[in-house]
Each structure stands twice: as structure tokens, then as C-alpha cells.
A and B are shown apart, each in its own frame.
Chain A
Amino acid sequence: MSVVPMTATAEQSAQSATTREPRLRRLNGLARPALGLILPVGVAVLWELAVRFGLSDGRLVPPPSVIFETFAELARTGELQRHASTTLARVAAGFGFGVAAGTVLGAITGYSSLASRLLDPTLQALRAIPSIAWVPLFILWLGIFEESKVALIAVGVFFPVYLGVMGAIHSVDRKLVEVGRVFRLSDAAMVRRILLPAVLPSYVIALRSGLGLGWMFVVAAEFMGASEGLGFLLVDGQQLGKPAQIVAAIVAFAIIGKTTDWIIAAIAAPFLRWEDVVRRD
């Protein structure tokens, strides 16, 4: 982490920012995100019009207005909240277990090469198994209720967190650790003042990809027999032929998933202000 390349990137980004400046200024702060909305909104409007003008009956692919109605109806009756909170609770529990195990094991294998030689090959082998393959076993072991679902989500969350923490610890700059040694930091102080801040950016990324997998696996978990949850709404919509309900559940997944991801990013942001990132905008 020498200063020379750091200042070089800073200068480069400053330079490219100035050359792009005039074009960007015309698209002010509000207009730029709107650019990304053109395609989805355009398609939705076109489809809505197509159904309105009778070009399609919209039975299998419901128009936006019907989806919105279904969504509002589910929300009004409290169904949506009930299913969403069940799913959220499962993800939260699975995420909690997965993050705890991934962090602890990742820290141990990252820190000690003996532990790494001992544990990492097994964990890597387990990682190669498609996680859904565990489902029958989890059901046999833990039953068909919450435990097996939480376990499956935890497995999904575990691996990205484990790999992220281990990799982050491995890549901590030895030169910065030496700075800690020069100032005679105790082991605990070394962890708190050098290692933790150094791994934090990768850890946040690991948490976010873990959470993403958690949301993926909760659907799989709820497919394997649930009477509640957004995944249940999906299955129910399929069995009763209610595509609008399926899409409404998908929309709910998208909203909640994005929100939880945003929460992690927002919590981490104040601690990562120092990062030397080349911003996209």
C-alpha cells in the first residue's frame, strides 16, 4: 500500500471526472437514476396498454395494474406482512448462524496456517456440494419445520462469509502489521486496531453476498414444504394458477432483499469512508 499508486489513482479519477464533467452536469442528480428506469417502466407501460387494447388477455402474464392490485390486496388483508415477516425471520436466523460460523472459522483459518491446512480442504470440499443437495438430509435430521429451513439458509450464507473473512485476513498488508509491531501492540490491540479495520471492507462485501445467498436459499427452503412465507406464496400462486400472486411475491422479495442489503451497506458506510475507491458517478 504505497502512497505512489494511491495518489496516482486519485489523480486519474480526478482527471477522468473533469473530462466527463460537462456531459454529466446536464444530467443532474435526479435525472441520472431515471435513465435506468426507462426500460422496465417502458416495458410495463407497453404491456399494460397491450392488455387494455385487447392484444393479449394477460392471464398468464398479468399487466402491472393487476399485479399492483394483488399486492395491495395482500397487504390490506395482512397476508403479505404475515408471509414476509415469516420469511424475514427465517433469513435473519439463517444469516445469523451462517455469519457467526463463517466469521469464526474464516478468522481461525485466516489467522493460523495449521488450522487452514486442517480445516480448509474439508470446507472447500463441502462448498463444492450444491447446497440444495442437503435438503433431504436436513429434513431427515431436523424435521420439516423451521430448523431444516434455517439450517439450509445458514449453509448458503456460511460459504461466502467464510471465504471472504479468510481471504481478507490473508491479504492484510504485512507492512501495516509491522507498523503495529513497531508500536508494540498487544495481540488484542493488533486485532482491534490493525486487523479488524483492514478486513472490514472485504467483510462487508462478504456479508452482502452472504445475505444475497440467504435470500436465494430461503426460497428453496420454503419450496420444500411451508405453510407460510413468501416462498409459500409463490408455490401457492403456481398451484392455484394465480400468476399475479407469484409476481407480487417476487416484487416483495425484491423490495425486502434490496432493503436488507441497503441496511448493511448503510451501517458499514460510516466505517468505510476512508476507502480509496474510484466512484462510478
Chain B
Amino acid sequence: MLVLDRVGKTYPNGVHALEGISFSVAPGEIVAIVGGSGCGKSTLLRLVSGLDHPTQGAVILDEERVTAPHEKIGIVFQEPRLLPWLTVAGNVGFGLADRPKAEREARVADALDRVGLADKAKVWPRELSGGQAQRVAIARALVPRPEVLLLDEPFSALDAFTRIDLQDHLLSLWADLKPTLVIVTHDVEEAIVLADRIIVMRPRPGRVFAEIEADLARPRDRQSAAFDSVKRRVLAALDRSLDRSVVTDDGETQATAGAALWW
């Protein structure tokens, strides 16, 4: 169980990035964090990963406070961040340096097989496409079998087709290994395709504005009415989070025209 307890972050220069963020994520759950730019969602993910430290509150994983990068927590960044001097197999096995060679090789081969890149094991990272490189990054993060995998806008640099491909890929990996996933994204559709629950943040300082359950059967159909209804609720919440909403006659809050394009 991953718990954020009133987490806040104020930078030494006085910038108040996050305030009073509390939520918990059950084992195996997928949570997406969405919000306008500058709402501190990436900062929040860095605090959970242990790369940065909260100035208030605490991040707690299985009753243990996270103060530094933790073996149970993996992270995938927006860029693949592959080490260019290691082959694909070397990158995937990077976190297994202390394991015996045979075990390492078996687990790397297995991980590459899972992300469909078994034939690229001996290739240099520069020879990969953007989507392939990000799949290697996901394999590298999953190989140490983390309980929690954090993803910071992992597919935002990819084209639309590759992005949908990788979303499906991530879900099939999740179905096999059932790690907890916390994914930061600015793509509402991506959030709904992936997550059980969507946390909408509002900026200055970053706070949790709304939590929306996406109680949809998997695999999710992007065209379905249920999908669309969740999407409208998330967009409306996003809009309200920035005070840009309109209220319709029947009292329902609706996204202003064009807001959907904005995110």
C-alpha cells in the first residue's frame, strides 16, 4: 500500500509547489494523475520516487517511509534515459548488477521478450526508435520486480499510434505482473484507458482537486459511451480546477468548448 500523507513541497527559493496532498494507492491499482501544466504533478512523482524530498508530510510504502530511491519503487521518465554506452540488454539488466550472471541473463531475456524486443538485445540504444527505447526503459524499470512503478508522462514524446500501442503494452505487462502503477499524464484519454482512478490536481500550489473512479471493464473501448462519460467528468473537473467552467441549465458542470483540445 502506497500512502501519501499530507505531502507538501516548498523549494528553498520560496516557490510553493505542492500542498497537503493525501491519497493512497492499493497494491495492483492503477492511478493516473492529471492536471494543467505547472500543477506539480511531476514534482509529486519525484517525491514518491524518493529522488526529491517532501518538505511537509510523508510518502509511505508498506508502513515504511520513503526518503530515498527504494528497491520496491521503479520509475520510467518522460525520456527513455537509456545509457548510451550499454546495449539494450545491458540497459535492461542495469539494476541487476549484483545478481549472478545466469540469473541476470535469464531475467533480461524474459523482460525483453515481454516488451517484444528480444531481437534487439545486442543493439545500441541509438539504433532504437522512440517507442522501442521507451519500451526498453519500461523493461529496465520492471526487471527488479518493483511493487510500485511510477511513470512520468512516459508516452508524451511519442506519436499517436505508438502511444496507443505502448498503452496497450503497459496494460498487458500490468496484467501479468500486477505492480501498482502511478502514471502522470496530461492526456485525459490516456488516463482513462489506463487507470482505475484519476486524480485531478489544481495548480499554485499543487493540490488534489478531485478523484474520479474510472469503473470501466478492461480492455477499454475508447469509443464507448461509458468511456466518454468518464472523459467528460475528468475534463469538467480539470476545467473547474482552473475556474474555467460553465454551469448548464440542469445544474451540471460542463467543460467549456475547446477545453478538450487544450489537454
Interface residues of A (CB under 8 A from B): 1-4, 6-7, 10, 175-176, 178-179, 181-184, 189, 193-194, 197-198, 200, 271, 273-276
Select B84's contact among A1, A4, A10, A193, beta carbons within 8 Å: A1
The DSSP consensus for interface residues of chain B is loop
Q: B177 contacts the other chain (Cβ, under 8 Å)?
A: no
Name B134's closest neighbour in chain A (CB-CB).
A3
Interface contact B95-A3, CB-CB below 8 Å: no
- If the complex has contacts A1-B81, A3-B133, are A178 and B126 also in contact, measured as CB distance less than 8 A? no
User: Which residues of B64-104 have CB atoms within 8 Å of chain A's CB atoms?
Assistant: 68-71, 74-75, 77, 79-86, 94-95, 97
Chain A min CB distance to B155 (Å):
13
Residues of B within 8 A of A273 (CB): 124
Interface contact A7-B129, CB-CB below 8 Å: yes
Interface contact B126-A181, CB-CB below 8 Å: no
Name A173's closest neighbour in chain B (CB-CB).
B81
A-B contact pairs, 9 of them (CB 8 A): A1-B79, A2-B80, A3-B157, A6-B126, A7-B126, A175-B79, A198-B85, A274-B84, A274-B124
Interface contact A184-B125, CB-CB below 8 Å: no
Q: B205 contacts the other chain (Cβ, under 8 Å)?
A: no
Besides the contacts A189-B97, A193-B97, what 14 more A-B pairs have beta carbons closer than 8 Å? A1-B79, A1-B81, A1-B84, A2-B79, A3-B80, A3-B157, A4-B130, A4-B157, A178-B51, A178-B77, A179-B94, A184-B71, A273-B124, A275-B84
Interface centre among B74, B94, B128, B134 (most CB of A within 10 A): B94
Name A196's closest neighbour in chain B (CB-CB).
B85
The DSSP consensus for interface residues of chain A is helix
Interface contact A10-B77, CB-CB below 8 Å: no
User: Which residues of B102-146 have CB atoms within 8 Å of chain A's CB atoms?
Assistant: 124-130, 133-134, 144
- If the complex has contacts A7-B129, A7-B130, are A197 and B157 also in contact, measured as CB distance less than 8 A? no
Interface contact B83-A3, CB-CB below 8 Å: no
What's the interface size class on B, roughly? 20 to 34
Chain A min CB distance to B147 (Å):
15
Q: In the complex, A194 Cα to B90 Cα: how many Å? A: 13
Name A178's closest neighbour in chain B (CB-CB).
B51
Interface contact B94-A183, CB-CB below 8 Å: yes
Residues of A within 8 A of B49 (CB): 182
- If the complex has contacts A3-B133, A184-B69, are A178 and B83 also in contact, measured as CB distance less than 8 A? no
Q: In the complex, A273 Cα to B127 Cα: how many Å? A: 12
Name A9's closest neighbour in chain B (CB-CB).
B126
Interface contact A176-B83, CB-CB below 8 Å: yes
Interface contact A179-B69, CB-CB below 8 Å: no
Interface contact B81-A175, CB-CB below 8 Å: yes
Name A275's closest neighbour in chain B (CB-CB).
B84
Q: In the complex, A189 Cα to B98 Cα: how many Å? A: 11
